[in-house]
Structure 1
Amino acid sequence: MKTLEEIRNECRNENHAARRLLSAGFRLEGWDMNTGRRIVARITNENTNDEQRAFYEFPDYQTAAAELLA
């Protein structure tokens, strides 16, 4: 079982990773109830005829930030 300090550190790291993704132009689309994984999207040329969407699935936002912002 995790201690309270471990849970706080995990939440702090997860929130920091989420903020980094947002500042890089990604969208946090949420959580998939069936798989328990986080959905991250990048939408370019939004609301135009040339709109392109890319969706990524990761176990958590820390992993997403490590892979997408590398």
Structure 2
Amino acid sequence: MKTLEEIRNECRNENHAARRLLSAGFRLEGWDMNTGRRIVARITNENTNDEQRTFYEFPDYQTAAAELLA
């Protein structure tokens, strides 16, 4: 079982990774209830006829930031 301090550190790291993704232009689309994975999206040419959406799935935002921002 995790201690309160471990939970706080994990939340702090998740929030930091989420902020990094947002500042890089990604959107945090939420959490898939069936798989428990986080959904991250990249939308290019938004609100045009050439709009493209790309969705990614990760176990957490820390993994998403490590892979997408590398």
TM-score normalised over the length of structure 2? 1.00
Give the 4+ runs in structure 1 shifted more than 3 A: none
Q: Secondary structure at the match of 1:29?
A: strand
Instruction: Return the offset for 1:31.
Output: 0.1
Instruction: Return the offset for 1:32.
Output: 0.1
The percentage of counterpart residues that share the same residue type is 99
TM-score normalised over the length of structure 1? 1.00
| Alignment length (residue pairs) | 70
The two structures, once aligned, show a CA RMSD in angstroms of 0.2
Per-residue CA distance 1:6-63 (angstroms, 9 max, x = gap): 0000000000000000000000000000000000000000010000010000000000
Distance in 1, matches of 2:6 and 2:32, equals 24
Q: Which runs of 5+ in 2 are unaligned?
A: none
